[in-house]
Amino acid sequence: MSRSAHPAGPRYADVLPEGHYSPPPADLNALDPKVWARTVTRDEDGVVTVGGIAVTELAERFGTPAYVLDEADFRARARAWRTAFGNDADVFYAGKAFLSRAVVRWLDEEGLNLDVCSGTELATALSAGMPAERIAFHGNNKSETEIHRAVEAGVGRIVLDSFQEIVRVAHIAQSLGKRQKAQIRITVGVEAHTHEFIATAHEDQKFGIPLAGGQAAEAVRRALQLDGIELIGIHSHIGSQIFDMSGFEVAAHRVVRLLKEIRDEHGIELPEIDLGGGLGIAYTSDDDPREPHEIAKALNEIVTRECEAARLRTPRISVEPGRAVVGPTAFTLYEVGTIKPLEGLRTYVSVDGGMSDNIRTALYDAEYSVALVSRASDAAPMLVRVVGKHCESGDIVVKDAFLPADLAPGDLIAVPATGAYCRSMASNYNHALRPPVVAVADGEARVIVRRETEEDLLRLDVG
Ligand SMILES: *Cc1c(COP(=O)(O)O)cnc(C)c1O
């Protein structure tokens, strides 16, 4: 199809209420290093490369859509977290963001620990050789089978999430002749998302045991009475995609206050606190995430100060970044199928994937950026909405972005910062075959999670 086969889309200035959207970037060919994996560049021919490989070659070899993961970037980010927190703290990668055996091996090699929240995530971690003592097991409704498996494997900690679970874990551990290390997850009355946090009097959510009304203190009392549990600390996770440290400040203050109450009541100082994950990344150029060393410094200062004020020994801190490690390291590569300019509105660009490989836009109204990657273009910016191929009008990948007006079917476009919560939340809606994850490093590409096949799907359908 020739590039002039469709009318150019409306110019943003014609259709957008002033000040409502960011204007188009000065150079549509530029790749903002904030949102793209570190080895991503555009070569002299205008083709984008990652890990030294052109996306056109990746599309040819592995097909589209595909998640392309920059291994060097993943390792560098994992290492940055590890180094920032040092030997007196632990970094647990939140496996739910994206878990595969290759990732587990990289984490192991880079010295990170791992959070899992299901028996199958645990099985994945163990099968890739992650030492059980470096695994933490999360979840608000772990089954007895899952708990049994975790205790038997010897996981480093189970994060207790309810009164029933305290008893369940203690019972299972005892039946196995073990004493399971555990933390109690509490809700501190703080919820943080992106640029704001809300401090509430009580928590209206399924996770954790509320500090309010003395419930968390009661959970501690019960756990301390049970032989099957060795209570090692308190856990708090306040939200996701957080840029502002003040939510952590309030959370740390309240967690330390509980530690002090525990010391006063029971005469023990719990040795650990976990402040959870949720650190934000840049999905668009408007986001300004903090570096791991800044976050480590801020959290260490907050906890040390709070503990000094409470006259407590500073506990060992742990954090659980998921998105902030893997999110920026991958992009989704799509092929453009159809282009539909809607006069006076915007241009709909349909790609060969959609909400089955990235549910975040539909689910959370998430923002993403997008770029033409198979070639450079000097054409004027065109306001687009990138949509998928699913039977659902909410099937949107990128709500508002600019692509060159000469965009044509067959072009490759890529959505950056899709390393977290995209493959891990992918679905088979419309019997979509979930895309592969292709890891690239030093001019080599390899599939670490293969594309699903029709056979995979039909095998489940036992008819
Ligand atoms: C989801 C989650 C994380 C990771 O969150 P990110 O936003 O990916 O950093 C960490 N800890 C717990 C308990 C979680 O539920």
Residues 312, 348 within the same domain: no
Domain end position, chosen among 321, 355, 371: 321
What is the pLDDT at residue 2?
A: 38
Angle between helix axes 101-110 and 119-127 (nearest 10 degrees) is: 60
What is the pLDDT at residue 153?
A: 98
Distance CA 1, CA 70 (A): 32
The mean pLDDT of 150-160, rounded to a whole number, is 98
Q: What one-letter code names the amino acid at 60?
A: E
Q: State the catalytic residue, choosing from 117, 307, 391, 422.
A: 391
Distance CA 313, CA 52 (A): 49
Distance CA 304, CA 152 (A): 35
- State the pLDDT confidence band at 63, using cuts at 50, 70 and 90: very high
Q: Is residue 93 part of a domain?
A: no
Residue 411 is part of a domain; what is its CATH number? 2.40.37.10
Structure tokens at 344: 């006076």
Please indicate whether residue 327, judged by its CB atom, sits closer than 6 Å to ligand 1: no
Place of tokens 């909400």: 355
Please indicate whether residue 322, judged by its CB atom, sits closer than 6 Å to ligand 1: yes
Residue nearest to atom 10 of ligand 1 (CA): 277
Mean per-residue pLDDT over the chain, rounded: 94
Domain end position, chosen among 299, 321, 343: 321
**Overall residue count recorded for the chain in this entry:** 463
What is the pLDDT at residue 198?
A: 72
The mean pLDDT of 143-161, rounded to a whole number, is 98
Task: Give 26-62 pLDDT, tens digit per residue.
Answer: 899 999 999 999 999 999 999 999 999 999 999 999 9
Residue 176 is part of a domain; what is its CATH number? 3.20.20.10
Taking 80 as the threshold, does the pLDDT of residue 264 lie above it?
Answer: yes
Distance CA 291, CA 317 (A): 18
Residue 414 neighbours by CB under 8 Å, 6+ apart: 48, 55, 68, 331, 332, 333, 334, 370, 371, 373
Q: Is residue 398 part of a domain?
A: yes
Residues 272, 292 within the same domain: yes
Q: Is residue 7 part of a domain?
A: no
The mean pLDDT of 406-425, rounded to a whole number, is 98
Residues 371, 234 within the same domain: no
Residues 279, 295 within the same domain: yes
Question: Which atom of ligand 1 is the closest one to the Cα of 240?
Answer: 7
Distance CA 187, CA 63 (A): 44
Residues 280, 350 within the same domain: no
Residues 180, 54 within the same domain: no
Residues 369, 345 within the same domain: yes
Distance CA 110, CA 391 (A): 42
Look at the chain and report how many structural domains it folds into: 2
Q: Is residue 417 part of a domain?
A: yes
Distance CA 158, CA 146 (A): 11
Task: Give 348-376 pLDDT, tens digit per residue.
Answer: 999 999 999 999 999 989 999 999 999 99
Structure tokens at 23: 């204007």
Please indicate whether residue 324, judged by its CB atom, sits closer than 6 Å to ligand 1: yes
Residue 98 neighbours by CB under 8 Å, 6+ apart: 322, 326, 330, 419, 420, 421, 422, 423, 424, 437
Sheet of 48-50, strand order: 41-42, 48-50, 53-54
Residues 341, 290 within the same domain: no
Distance CA 55, CA 35 (A): 17
What is the pLDDT at residue 15?
A: 55
Residue 266 neighbours by CB under 8 Å, 6+ apart: 220, 221, 224
Distance CA 209, CA 161 (A): 6
426 CA to centre of own chain: 13
Instruction: Show the domain range for 406.
Output: 12-70+328-460
Please indicate whether residue 97, judged by its CB atom, sits closer than 6 Å to ligand 1: yes
Distance CA 163, CA 140 (A): 11
Cα(218) to centroid(ligand 1), Å: 25
Residues 152, 289 within the same domain: yes
Q: Has this prediction a pTM greater than 0.85?
A: yes
Q: Is residue 282 part of a domain?
A: yes
Q: Is 307 a catalytic residue?
A: no
Task: Give 64-103 pLDDT, tens digit per residue.
Answer: 999 999 999 999 999 999 999 999 999 999 999 999 999 9
Residues 164, 244 within the same domain: yes
The mean pLDDT of 188-209, rounded to a whole number, is 78
Q: How would DSSP label each residue in 234-290?
A: EE---EEEE--THHHHHHHHHHHHHHHHHHHHHS----EEE----B---SSTT--PP
Please indicate whether residue 278, judged by its CB atom, sits closer than 6 Å to ligand 1: yes
- State the pLDDT confidence band at 1, using cuts at 50, 70 and 90: very low
Q: Is residue 376 part of a domain?
A: yes
Cα(410) to centroid(ligand 1), Å: 37
Please indicate whether residue 94, judged by its CB atom, sits closer than 6 Å to ligand 1: yes
Cα(132) to centroid(ligand 1), Å: 19
Place of tokens 């009318």: 7
Domain end position, chosen among 273, 292, 321: 321
Question: Which atom of ligand 1 is the closest one to the Cα of 320?
Answer: 10
Residues 452, 390 within the same domain: yes
Task: Give 314-347 pLDDT, tens digit per residue.
Answer: 999 999 999 999 999 999 999 999 999 998 889 9
Q: How would DSSP label each residue in 44-106?
A: TTS-EEETTEEHHHHHHHH-SSEEEEEHHHHHHHHHHHHHHH-TTEEEEEETTS---HHHHHH
Q: Is residue 375 part of a domain?
A: yes
Q: Is residue 108 part of a domain?
A: no
What is the pLDDT at residue 6?
A: 44
Residue 401 neighbours by CB under 8 Å, 6+ apart: 368, 369, 370, 383, 384, 385, 386
Taking 70 as the threshold, does the pLDDT of residue 21 lie above it?
Answer: no
67 — phi, psi (to 5°)? -90, 130
The mean pLDDT of 157-174, rounded to a whole number, is 98
Q: What one-letter code names the amino acid at 420?
A: A
Cα(409) to centroid(ligand 1), Å: 38
What is the pLDDT at residue 205?
A: 85
Residue nearest to atom 6 of ligand 1 (CA): 278
Taking 60 as the threshold, does the pLDDT of residue 20 lie above it?
Answer: no
Distance CA 238, CA 220 (A): 20
Residues 396, 298 within the same domain: no
Please indicate whether residue 242, judged by its CB atom, sits closer than 6 Å to ligand 1: no
Judged by DSSP in three states, 183 sits in strand
